[in-house]
């Protein structure tokens, strides 16, 4: 006797009930998005909010460089979180855009560094 799999009588679930992306949580993907969106804002707020005016003044180059480096650290951490999310099997729709958007500013900083190093 033949088993009709289209009607759902077989041993496997019908194709319309199978979830193509198993959701094993979204923790690391969500943390990667937080690092992307909140990390640079927190870095600039920490540098210019908690540093005395005599040290930073009005947009001191030293303090701006420090804030940029803290932002880069946040983007690097967000990239690592997104990679961990991909290895854990979390939703790709959350982790892949976070990874790409965290890598874009890092690549921009690397290009700026290489450009300035070439000129010096």
Q: Is residue 15 part of a domain?
A: no
Residue indicated by tokens 């290009």: 111
Residues of the chain under the 50 pLDDT cut: 17
Q: Is residue 16 part of a domain?
A: no
Residue indicated by tokens 């943390």: 31
Q: Is residue 21 part of a domain?
A: no
**Cα gap 58→106, rounded to integer Å:** 26
Q: Is residue 76 part of a domain?
A: yes
Q: What Rg value do the Cα atoms of the chain yield, rounded?
A: 23
Q: Is residue 10 part of a domain?
A: no
How many CB atoms sit inside 10 A of residue 86's CB?
A: 19
Q: Is residue 20 part of a domain?
A: no
Q: How many domains does the chain have?
A: 1
Q: What is the pLDDT of residue 120?
A: 78
Give the closest residue to 36 by CA, choosing from 87, 89, 96. Answer: 96
Q: What residue spans of the chain are helical by DSSP H?
A: 27-37, 39-50, 53-56, 61-88, 92-119
Domain of residue 93, residue span: 26-52+60-118
CA angle 19/96/73 to nearest 5° reads 145
Q: What is the pTM of this model?
A: 0.75
Q: Is residue 6 part of a domain?
A: no
Q: Is residue 5 part of a domain?
A: no
């Amino acid at each position: 006797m033949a088993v009709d799999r289209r009607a759902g009588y077989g041993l496997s679930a019908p194709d319309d009930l199978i979830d193509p992306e198993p959701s094993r949580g979204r923790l690391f993907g969500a943390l990667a998005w937080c690092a992307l969106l909140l990390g640079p804002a927190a870095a600039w707020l920490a540098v210019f909010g908690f540093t005395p005016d005599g040290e930073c003044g009005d947009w001191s180059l030293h303090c701006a460089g420090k804030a940029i480096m803290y932002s880069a650290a946040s983007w690097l951490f967000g990239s690592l979180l997104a990679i961990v999310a991909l290895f854990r099997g979390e939703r790709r729709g959350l982790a892949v855009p976070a990874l790409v958007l965290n890598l874009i500013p890092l690549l921009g900083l690397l290009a700026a560094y290489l450009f300035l190093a070439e000129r010096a």
